[in-house]
């Protein structure tokens, strides 16, 4: 049985206390620890249980930000994309994007002129319907990527587009373009950054919540933290406290008496459908009915369709997709792929997250910049908000540069090695998956677990490459303590199968490792299923309940 030890020391003094274990907090923990700062990170739920597991999973420059002339952001994000492809191979991998253009023609030159003088009045798709603008956008994107360009863009004829994506609607199709970006498993990327931060000495804890801040003469000197695993509270004193709480930033700042809001949060939702129902070979860029750019993104045997963007001021803990959003995403997908005839029955799962966008008055939610902002004060506190998954490393650097003059090292810290071999006689799809997700030393440990117990190489679900040894590994090496940690954010099974059938089996397996009795096992299953039910609540709306 695996023991859980006391994880904090009451009264401990550190250089840095980070609140929030999404990609932003994890990135700061790694940066700070690698520069020699004594660091503790606390996350109230599981690592990446907030926005960092609910993104579109794109490691991208963001071609649509060109429209807003957000050139600095695109340039920076493309540089980070190049770096992440090298620092986390397999977890971050190249992906071609197809922009099909319908009803193009020279009348769209007018739109181009309009954009030049008034970018907020033009949508990206309106803009790139002008052949010149399409060429300019993809060429500029490649130019900004510079040496880190993945592959050169291509301009395609109507015939070319249909030959590579035969399910696309031919009606009104004029042509298109291919450009390259990358796909990254957000929850595993966050976890790898946490693991690396721990290797450098940061104490990163999930299920540890900041209850309140400790003040001395008007200065924040630390926080009172509840370890939710043993229900004890601890006082941690810190030279600096960094709030990296994503969409919870304003809520956490309020605990330090800061009333001024930083965020203008928006909700974004996705539906996931089987790839054999939406057979695409590239990520496809689609224009939604309101002009928003939406994507169909292939992920193994699934396609993620998203996202929506809706202002959202309720608790991020309660975010979920509505039937209206499901309808919106189905409608976009069916406009581009009418022969798929996608319906509610095709949806495997859905998920929603809240973007921690900076409040920029006067701009629509879609036009709000994805740049981050760092705010210092009141004394003892630094807050970071905004930004993107892709740019987490520069965001972290921006924070840690304010705390130490030591040089940032994260551009050269490998988050995962390139692996090719899984030393177990196993099916090819499992081998492929293993080398994509795990580092060499992790693969060796998983192989050892299988040597100790050959049953662990069996599949958890017949159609997916996940094996039982991963559950042992997630508990032993990846800080998974709850059933939902394993199913959602270690194996990502939730995204592939949300009917919960496998939950009981995994809970029983975990129960043997963690010493759970049958009551505990049932409680974990119930808890996980209620999370699934919350995410799939739109089904009730469909049924008219």
Ligand X SMILES: Cc1cc2nc3c(=O)[nH]c(=O)nc-3n(C[C@H](O)[C@H](O)[C@H](O)COP(=O)(O)OP(=O)(O)OC[C@H]3O[C@@H](n4cnc5c(N)ncnc54)[C@H](O)[C@@H]3O)c2cc1C
Q: How far is the CB of 465 from ligand X (least distance, A)?
A: 23
Closest CA to 379 of 258, 288, 469, 532: 258
Beta partners for residue 376, in sequence order: 382
Tokens of 397: 């650097």
In whole angstroms, give the CA distance from residue 347 to residue 333: 12
Q: Which residue has the tokens 């954009």?
A: 115
Query: According to CB under 6 A, which one of 61, 90, 104, 247 is a site residue for ligand X?
Result: 247
> Binding of ligand X at residue 22 (CB under 6 A)?
yes
Sites for ligand X among residues 127-156 (CB under 6 A): none
Angle between helices 503-514 and 518-535 (to 10 degrees): 140
What binding mask, one character per residue, do residues 305-324 give for ligand X by CB under 6 A, x or -?
A: --x-----------------
In whole angstroms, give the CA distance from residue 3 to residue 37: 28
Q: How far is the CB of 339 from ligand X (least distance, A)?
A: 27
Closest CA to 266 of 292, 295, 287: 292
Q: How far is the CB of 443 from ligand X (least distance, A)?
A: 27
In whole angstroms, give the CA distance from residue 99 to residue 176: 5
Site stretch for ligand X (CB under 6 A), options 8-16, 134-142, 276-284, 383-391: 383-391
Q: How far is the CB of 207 from ligand X (least distance, A)?
A: 9
Q: How far is the CB of 543 from ligand X (least distance, A)?
A: 25
> Binding of ligand X at residue 20 (CB under 6 A)?
yes
Query: According to CB under 6 A, which one of 82, 222, 268, 298 is a site residue for ligand X?
Result: 268
Total residues at interface with ligand X (CB under 6 A): 39
Tokens of 36: 């020699």
CA 99 to centroid of chain Cα atoms: 23
CB nearer to ligand X: pick between 44 and 129: 44
> Binding of ligand X at residue 371 (CB under 6 A)?
no
In whole angstroms, give the CA distance from residue 49 to residue 53: 6
Sites for ligand X among residues 319-358 (CB under 6 A): 353-356
Site stretch for ligand X (CB under 6 A), options 16-24, 271-279, 425-433, 507-515: 16-24
What binding mask, one character per residue, do residues 41-60 give for ligand X by CB under 6 A, x or -?
A: -xxxx---xxxx-xxxxx-x
Element containing residue 187 per DSSP (H, E)? helix 186-199
> Binding of ligand X at residue 252 (CB under 6 A)?
yes
Query: According to CB under 6 A, which one of 17, 23, 63, 326 is a site residue for ligand X?
Result: 23
Tokens of 490: 């270690």
The CA R_g of the chain, rounded to the nearest whole Å, is: 23
CB nearer to ligand X: pick between 42 and 450: 42
Query: According to CB under 6 A, which one of 7, 16, 24, 470 is a site residue for ligand X?
Result: 24
In whole angstroms, give the CA distance from residue 446 to residue 467: 10
Query: According to CB under 6 A, which one of 192, 390, 410, 498 is a site residue for ligand X?
Result: 390
Q: How far is the CB of 52 from ligand X (least distance, A)?
A: 3
The number of beta carbons lying within 10 Å of the beta carbon of residue 540 is 11
CB nearer to ligand X: pick between 175 and 184: 184
Q: How far is the CB of 449 from ligand X (least distance, A)?
A: 29
> Binding of ligand X at residue 100 (CB under 6 A)?
no
Tell me how long the chain is. 545
> Binding of ligand X at residue 66 (CB under 6 A)?
no
> Binding of ligand X at residue 177 (CB under 6 A)?
no
Sites for ligand X among residues 419-448 (CB under 6 A): none
Closest CA to 288 of 339, 347, 335: 335
CB nearer to ligand X: pick between 246 and 298: 246
8 Å CB contact between 104 and 133: no
CB nearer to ligand X: pick between 10 and 341: 10
How many Cα atoms occupy the beta-carbon half-sphere of 119 within 13 Å?
A: 13
Q: How far is the CB of 469 from ligand X (least distance, A)?
A: 27
In whole angstroms, give the CA distance from residue 19 to residue 205: 10
> Binding of ligand X at residue 298 (CB under 6 A)?
no
CB nearer to ligand X: pick between 44 and 320: 44
Angle between helices 503-514 and 469-477 (to 10 degrees): 50
The torsion region of residue 455 among left (phi > 0), alpha (psi -120 to 50) and beta comes to alpha
Residues that bind ligand X (CB under 6 A): 19-25, 42-45, 49-52, 54-58, 60, 209-210, 244-248, 252, 268, 307, 353-356, 387-390
């Amino acid at each position: 049985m695996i023991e859980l030890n006391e994880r904090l020391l009451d009264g401990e003094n550190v250089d840095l206390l980070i609140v929030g274990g999404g990609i932003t907090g994890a990135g700061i923990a790694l940066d700070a620890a690698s520069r020699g700062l004594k660091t503790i990170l606390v996350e109230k739920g599981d690592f990446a249980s907030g926005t960092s597991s609910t993104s579109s999973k794109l490691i991208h420059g963001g071609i649509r930000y060109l429209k807003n002339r957000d050139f600095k952001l695109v340039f920076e994000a493309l540089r980070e994309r190049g770096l992440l492809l090298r620092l986390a191979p397999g977890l971050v991998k190249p992906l071609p994007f197809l922009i099909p253009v319908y009803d193009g023609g020279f009348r769209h030159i007018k739109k181009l002129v309009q954009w030049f003088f008034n970018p907020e009045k033009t949508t990206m798709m309106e803009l790139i319907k002008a052949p010149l603008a399409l060429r300019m956008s993809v060429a500029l994107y490649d130019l900004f990527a510079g040496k880190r360009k993945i592959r050169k863009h291509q301009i395609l004829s109507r015939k070319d587009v249909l030959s590579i994506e035969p399910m696309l609607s031919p009606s009104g199709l004029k042509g298109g373009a291919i450009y390259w970006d990358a796909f990254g498993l957000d929850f595993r990327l966050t976890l790898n950054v946490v693991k690396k931060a721990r290797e450098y000495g940061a104490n990163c804890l999930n299920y540890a919540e900041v209850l309140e801040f400790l003040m001395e003469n008007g200065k924040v000197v630390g926080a009172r933290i509840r370890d939710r695993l043993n229900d004890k509270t601890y006082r941690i004193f810190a030279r600096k406290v960094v709030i990296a709480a994503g969409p919870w930033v304003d809520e956490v700042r309020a605990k330090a008496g800061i009333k001024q809001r930083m965020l203008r949060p928006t909700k974004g939702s996705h539906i996931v459908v089987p790839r054999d129902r939406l057979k695409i070979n590239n990520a496809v860029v689609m224009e939604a009915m309101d002009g928003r750019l939406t994507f169909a993104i292939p992920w193994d045997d699934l396609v993620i369709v998203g996202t929506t963007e809706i202002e959202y001021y309720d608790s991020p803990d309660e975010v979920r997709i509505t039937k209206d959003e499901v309808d919106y995403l189905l409608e976009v997908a069916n406009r581009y792929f009418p022969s798929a005839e996608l319906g509610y029955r095709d949806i495997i799962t859905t998920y929603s997250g809240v973007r921690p966008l900076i409040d920029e008055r006067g701009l629509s939610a879609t036009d709000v910049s994805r740049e981050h902002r760092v705010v210092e004060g009141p004394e003892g506190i630094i807050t970071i908000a905004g930004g993107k998954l892709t740019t987490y490393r520069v965001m972290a650097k921006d924070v840690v540069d304010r705390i130490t003059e030591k040089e940032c090292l994260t551009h050269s810290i490998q988050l995962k090695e390139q692996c090719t071999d899984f030393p177990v006689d196993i099916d090819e799809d499992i081998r492929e998956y293993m080398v994509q997700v795990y580092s060499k030393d992790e693969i060796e440990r998983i192989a050892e677990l299988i040597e100790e117990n050959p049953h662990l190489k069996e599949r958890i679900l017949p159609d997916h490459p996940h094996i039982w040894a991963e559950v042992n590994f997630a508990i032993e090496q990846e800080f998974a303590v709850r059933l939902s940690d394993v199913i959602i954010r270690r194996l990502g099974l939730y995204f592939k199968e949300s009917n919960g059938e496998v939950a009981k089996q995994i809970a029983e397996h975990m129960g043997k490792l963690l010493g759970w009795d049958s009551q505990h096992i049932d409680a974990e299953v119930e808890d996980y299923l209620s999370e699934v039910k919350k995410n799939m609540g739109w089904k009730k709306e469909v049924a008219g309940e």
